[in-house]
Amino acid sequence: MLKNQTYLITGIADKNSLAMYVAKEVIKNGGSVVCTGLGVSKFHHNLSERATSFLNKNFEDFKASITEELGDYQTEILDVTLEENVEDFAKKLQAKGVRLNGFLHAIAMDKTIRDKKVKPLLDVSLSEFCDTMDVSAYSLIRLSHYLLRYNVLQPGASICSLSYIAAAKVTFHPYRNMSIAKAALERITVELADELGRKHNIRANAIRFSTYMGSKAGNATLTDADVAKSEKMSPLGNASPQDLANEVIHLFRPNGRITGEIRHVDGGYHITG
Phi, psi of 272 (to 5 degrees): -105, 170
Cα angle 21, 28, 218 (rounded to 5 degrees) comes to 0
Q: Please state, in angstroms and rounded to a whole number, the distance separating the CA atoms of residues 105 and 189.
A: 10
Instruction: Answer yes or no whether residue 18 interacts with ligand NAD by CB under 6 A.
Output: yes
Instruction: Answer yes or no whether residue 102 interacts with ligand NAD by CB under 6 A.
Output: no
Position with the least CB separation from ligand NAD = 218
Q: Please state, in angstroms and rounded to a whole number, the distance separating the CA atoms of residues 58 and 203.
A: 31
x/- map, 71-90, ligand NAD, by CB under 6 A: -------xxxx---------
Cα angle 166, 108, 71 (rounded to 5 degrees) comes to 125
Check: CB of residue 147 under 8 Å from CB of residue 90.
yes
Instruction: Answer yes or no whether residue 209 interacts with ligand NAD by CB under 6 A.
Output: yes
Stretch that binds ligand NAD, among 16-24, 145-153, 186-194, 246-254 (CB under 6 A): 16-24
Check: CB of residue 205 under 8 Å from CB of residue 186.
no
x/- map, 32-71, ligand NAD, by CB under 6 A: ------x-------------------x-------------
Minimal distance in Å, beta carbon 166 to ligand NAD?
Answer: 9
Q: Is 261 exposed, middle or buried (0-12, 13-18, 19+ CB in 10 A)?
A: middle
Restricting to residues 107-146, name those near ligand NAD by CB under 6 A.
Answer: 107-109, 135
Minimal distance in Å, beta carbon 263 to ligand NAD?
Answer: 12
Minimal distance in Å, beta carbon 199 to ligand NAD?
Answer: 26
Instruction: Answer yes or no whether residue 218 interacts with ligand NAD by CB under 6 A.
Output: yes
Q: Please state, in angstroms and rounded to a whole number, the distance separating the CA atoms of residues 53 and 40.
A: 9
- Residue 154: count other Cβ atoms within 10 Å of its Cβ: 18
Instruction: Answer yes or no whether residue 217 interacts with ligand NAD by CB under 6 A.
Output: yes
Residues found near ligand NAD in the complex (CB under 6 A): 11-13, 17-19, 38, 58, 78-81, 106-109, 135, 162-164, 209, 211-212, 215-218
